[in-house]
Amino acid sequence: MTHPSCSSSLPSASKGGKGEKMRADDQQSIASSTTEAPYELKKPKSHLLNKDAKDQDLNSGPGVRPYGANGDLLDSLSRASSRQDADSIREDGDQPPGASSRLSRALSRSASRSSWNPGPPPDGGLEAWLVVLGAHFVNFNCWGFINSFGVFQPYYVDLLGRPPSDIAWIGSIQTFLVFFIGAFTGRLTDMGYFRTLFYTGVVFMLTGIFTTAQGSQYWHFLLSHGICMGIGYGCLFCPAVAVTSTWFAKKRATAMGMVACSTGTGGLVFPIMVRQLLPTVGFAWTLRTIGFVQMATLLISAFTIKTRVPPRRQGSFLDLSAFKELQYTFYVIGAFFSFLGVFVIFIFVVSYSRDVVGLSYTNALNLMMVLNGAGVPGRLVPNYLADRVGVINMFIIFAGVSGICGLSWMAVKTVSAVYPWTLFFGFFAGGIQSLFPAGASALAPDLRKRGVRIGMVFSCVSIAALTGSPIAGALISAMKGSYLAAQVFVGGSLLIGSGFLIASNIVAGREMGIKGWPKA
């Protein structure tokens, strides 16, 4: 039974010569926190009651919701704790000073820690940009080294005497694992295991590169360079992207572009190291030196990347309801076809320039540096523009132009043509790789599910990354060394991907009720 008035709740506390006179606000505070039958106070201590009443007024007064969505829960907890305090006063006649206020503050802190409302992203500040720096070095080592696989493709073909399609599986498995493992590491990041994933990834990555230095047979390189390093990169890349995206809202695409441009810087540094060190110190020490560089840069990442959003322990590793959203589904299909073709160039450009154009292996390595170097502005410029015109809009443009460029590859047969073509394709291919995670992040507005949804896109794209280059290698072998079928495959895949991205944007516009082309 609930008593709305103080007089009905405390019939004996304000009558007679016995007892101590209580102030009206004390009575009202105790009455509002009590839902039990009327009772009598035994020897109340006014200074304790005054203190507890003030604490309650500050923490759970009418209309106050100090903890947002958890306000109702805190009110219930505060009323329960107040009843317990009143019962204790009634039974014992004494109460430790400030016990109720301490309990209320403890309950408030507990509810605050469990709240999924960390506030809006800061969109800047020292701490946020340090996270970008740390993620930049993660991407430097992951995609910078993966996009440099073209320098190893012809070397492994000559060393092992295997066809190009066999060697392409090493780079493709590495890329596949980065994306596929992202489906799981994204969810584990949401659960609060970023640090565990980070250090696990570092161990696998360094183990892979140092054991690759000792390799001599095909299966050695498949296990160390392909699988072991791929697992390490998978544990590093998706969590770093997911954490970075939670620090930004309006500037998210710019921040993601700054992270992604490290693919270009890493793609410049590692081929230069291979070119300079391989003839002088040999293959083993070239790989070990690269391993030491990766170790030093990831040490910076370990100190700068910090999580902002509280962990979400419950939930699955999949959010299949996302595929009920046509915009998300078309985006995944568009990204799949885009990545089916884009990595083929990174793996075969050195081989093509040597086999068709006639460059030496050393000079052909320059093309890998041009390809990755052009990707630095190719990752910054579109992401800067994406904050103004929409991420998916920029993705559509860059995938479409890359597809046209892929088809024009058929006409590139001279030294004077291969360098500008590589520069042009590198710029637009870099945009695809940087816009892709930013677009996936934009399609996951719920911070609690962002890691899961990004990971799901990554896992779908992983199939394309796994099969694209081996398919191109098989086409080259079937055509007896001719790259014509592979070139059509690259251009066609990218154009199909651009088409599905257009469909994703059209659906977004209809859902938002926008006439014309939406900013998505």
pLDDT tier, 59 (very low <50, low <70, confident <90, very high otherwise): very low
Give residue 262's identity as a one-letter amino acid code: S
Give the pLDDT mean for 357-378. Answer: 88
**Cα(140)–Cα(511) distance, rounded to whole angstroms?**
37
Give the pLDDT mean for 191-197. Answer: 92
**Cα(50)–Cα(28) distance, rounded to whole angstroms?**
11
**Are 180 and 290 members of one domain?**
yes
> Whose structure tokens read 């910090």?
306
**Are 152 and 32 members of one domain?**
no
**Are 286 and 380 members of one domain?**
yes
Higher-pLDDT residue of 84, 278: 278
In a domain, 518, yes or no: no
**Are 52 and 154 members of one domain?**
no
pLDDT tier, 492 (very low <50, low <70, confident <90, very high otherwise): very high
Q: Are 244 and 188 in contact (CB under 8 A)?
A: no
How many helices and strands, by DSSP H and E, does the chain display? 20, 0
Note the pLDDT of residue 17: 43
In a domain, 271, yes or no: yes
CATH number at residue 149: 1.20.1250.20
State the Cα angle at 346 between 342 and 349, rounded to 5°.
Answer: 115
Tens of pLDDT, residues 17-42: 434 444 444 444 444 444 444 434 44
Of 86, 114, 142, the position where a domain reaches its end is 114
Provide the angle, in degrees to the nearest 10, between the axes of the packed helices 326-352 and 361-389. 160
In a domain, 47, yes or no: yes
> Whose structure tokens read 């506390």?
13
And the tokens for 380? Answer: 């910054």
Of 60, 83, 114, the position where a domain reaches its end is 114
Please state the domain count of the chain. Answer: 2
**Are 162 and 18 members of one domain?**
no
pLDDT tier, 447 (very low <50, low <70, confident <90, very high otherwise): low
DSSP string across 98-156: THHHHHHHHHHHHHHHH-S---S---SSHHHHHHHHHHHHHHHHHHHHHTTGGGTHHHH
Of 63, 89, 114, the position where a domain reaches its end is 114
Note the pLDDT of residue 516: 57
Could you tell me which residues come within 8 angstroms of residue 147 by beta carbon, excluding any fewer than 6 positions away?
263, 266, 267, 346, 371, 372, 375
In a domain, 520, yes or no: no
Distance of CA 205 to the CA centre of its chain: 19
Could you tell me which residues come within 8 angstroms of residue 249 by beta carbon, excluding any fewer than 6 positions away?
120, 121, 123
Secondary structure, 3-state, 335-385: HHHHHHHHHHHHHHHHHHHHHHHCCCHHHHHHHHHHHHHHHHHHHHHHHHH
Nearest C-alpha neighbor of 293 from the set 178, 133, 129, 137: 137
In a domain, 62, yes or no: yes
Note the pLDDT of residue 54: 42
Note the pLDDT of residue 164: 84
Note the pLDDT of residue 47: 44
In a domain, 451, yes or no: yes
**Are 179 and 257 members of one domain?**
yes
pTM above 0.75, yes or no: no
And the tokens for 224? Answer: 């160390």
Note the pLDDT of residue 105: 55
pLDDT tier, 291 (very low <50, low <70, confident <90, very high otherwise): very high
Note the pLDDT of residue 513: 62
**Are 253 and 345 members of one domain?**
yes
**Are 91 and 200 members of one domain?**
no
Q: Which segment, 84-93, 171-180, 197-206, is predicted with the most confidence on average?
A: 197-206
In a domain, 71, yes or no: yes
**Cα(456)–Cα(182) distance, rounded to whole angstroms?**
7
Tens of pLDDT, residues 403-417: 999 999 999 999 999
Distance of CA 438 to the CA centre of its chain: 9
Note the pLDDT of residue 262: 87
**Are 149 and 42 members of one domain?**
no
Note the pLDDT of residue 213: 94
Note the pLDDT of residue 240: 92
Domain interval for residue 72:
6-114
Q: What is the mean pLDDT of the chain?
A: 78
**Are 174 and 56 members of one domain?**
no
**Are 44 and 146 members of one domain?**
no
Tens of pLDDT, residues 303-352: 999 998 888 776 666 777 778 888 889 999 999 999 999 999 999 998 99
Tens of pLDDT, residues 97-134: 554 555 555 444 544 444 456 778 888 889 999 999 99
Q: Are 79 and 61 in contact (CB under 8 A)?
A: no
Note the pLDDT of residue 116: 55
pLDDT tier, 178 (very low <50, low <70, confident <90, very high otherwise): confident
What separation, in Å, do the N-terminal and C-terminal C-alpha atoms of the chain show?
A: 55
In a domain, 360, yes or no: yes
**Are 131 and 105 members of one domain?**
no
Note the pLDDT of residue 241: 85
Give residue 192's identity as a one-letter amino acid code: G
